Amino acid sequence: MSDLLRTYERGVLRVTLNRPEKRNTLARSTLRELRAVFEAHAPQEDLRLAILTGAGSVAFCAGADLADLAGIETPGEAEAFAREGMAALDALRAFPVPTIAALNGVTLAEGAELALACDVRVAAHDARIGFVHANAHRLPGFGGATDLARLAGPGPAMELLATARRLAPAEAQALGIVNRVAAPENDFLEEVERVAAPMREHHPHVLRSLKALALGERLGASAVEEREREIAAFVAAWTHPAHLALLDQLRAELG
């Protein structure tokens, strides 16, 4: 049985962690499947965005599946697992269009790392997010500590990692970890769709260029490199047939 559910329609990839009985925790099979799904869809020309969520209403992802990982003890085994998890989340980080993590419930430890690997996070009003690795005497290993420091700053990131606090959505939003929080009276999935809807209206080449710029910043490109990336993206978008057709239409209307 697959650990994931996925659909693809009109340029939108929807992926659901489908292990609700285990609070959508990440087994090694889940990580392999996540990587395979996102790498498989990356080349699709009509691709516009991806939405990742968890099955059920309790958890987006409660971390690693410790039962599946109980046999990992040696340094070599631990390193192999960390690299496998890093590669899976890197498939999301490098996905060529915007990714939205729809946090429908608890989002903990490796699950929080998974959420931060996405570009945008929308949280249900009763969701909780926590980098709680220290409570189990371990550390982030999938790139989450770096992502957290980039979003929240080194000081807040250290405090969150060292205290292993669980954040309410409003506090996570104030720290820049969450982009949007659904109001209690609003349907959570409708809030996710409100974020996604404007993206679906843009041409795929625009979204790919925007993601390329964001990825450069995430990977630590210099200011000079980012400026050159922006100019190159501008030129590619301006000379794209979709934009040139718009210019032709404008010229025709102006006579």
Predicted pLDDT of residue 130: 97
* Judgement on whether residues 130 and 18 belong to the same structural domain of the protein: yes
Domain boundary among 176, 200, 224: 200
Helix/strand/coil (H/E/C) assignment for every residue in 2-59: CCEEEEEECCEEEEEECCHHHCCCECHHHHHHHHHHHHHHCCCCCCCEEEEEECCCCE
- Please tell me whether residues 138 and 64 are part of one structural domain: yes
Tokens of 65: 């599946």
Do 92 and 113 share a domain, yes or no?
yes
How many domains does the structure of the chain reveal?
Answer: 2
Q: Which of 200, 225, 241 delimits the end of a domain?
A: 200
- 65: nearest Cα among 1, 5, 108, 6: 108
For 216-230, the pLDDT digits (tens) are 888 777 888 888 888
Same domain for 124 and 179? yes
Going across the sheet that includes 129-130, the strands are 59-61, 106-108, 129-130, 166-167
Strand order in the sheet with 180-181: 4-9, 12-17, 49-54, 99-103, 120-123, 180-181
CA distance 252 to 247: 9
Q: Are 159 and 245 in the same domain?
A: no
Amino acid code (one letter) for 110? E
Distances (CA, A) of 235 to 209, 230, 238, 251: 11, 9, 5, 20
For residue 169, count other CB atoms closer than 10 A to its CB. 23
- Strand (E) or helix (H) holding 181: strand 180-181
Same domain? For 192 and 240 the reply is no
Residue 244: predicted pLDDT: 81
Residues 107 and 228 in one domain: no
Mark which of 200, 218, 233 sits at the end of a domain.
Answer: 200
Tell me the residue range of the domain where 208 lies.
204-254
Structure token digits, residue 181: 């929080």
Token pair in block for residue 192: 């996710």
CA dist., res. 101 & res. 124, Å (int):
11
Mean pLDDT by 10 residues, the chain (255 residues): 92 97 96 97 96 96 92 93 96 97 97 98 96 95 96 96 96 96 90 94 92 84 82 83 82 80
Residues 53 and 164 in one domain: yes
Q: How far, in Å, CA of 54 to CA of 132, rounded?
A: 19
**237 and 164 fall within a common domain:** no
pLDDT in tens, 37-65: 999 999 999 999 999 999 998 999 999 99
Same domain, yes or no: 146 and 187: yes
Q: What's the CA gap between 14 and 6, in Å, rounded?
A: 5
pLDDT score recorded for residue 254: 84
- CA dist., res. 211 & res. 99, Å (int): 9
What CATH number should be reported for the domain holding residue 117? 3.90.226.10
| Together in a domain, 71 and 184 | yes
Q: Do 247 and 172 have their domain in common?
A: no
How far is the C-alpha of 116 from the C-alpha of 145, rounded, in Å?
A: 9
Structure tokens at 182: 């659904």
pLDDT at 242: 82
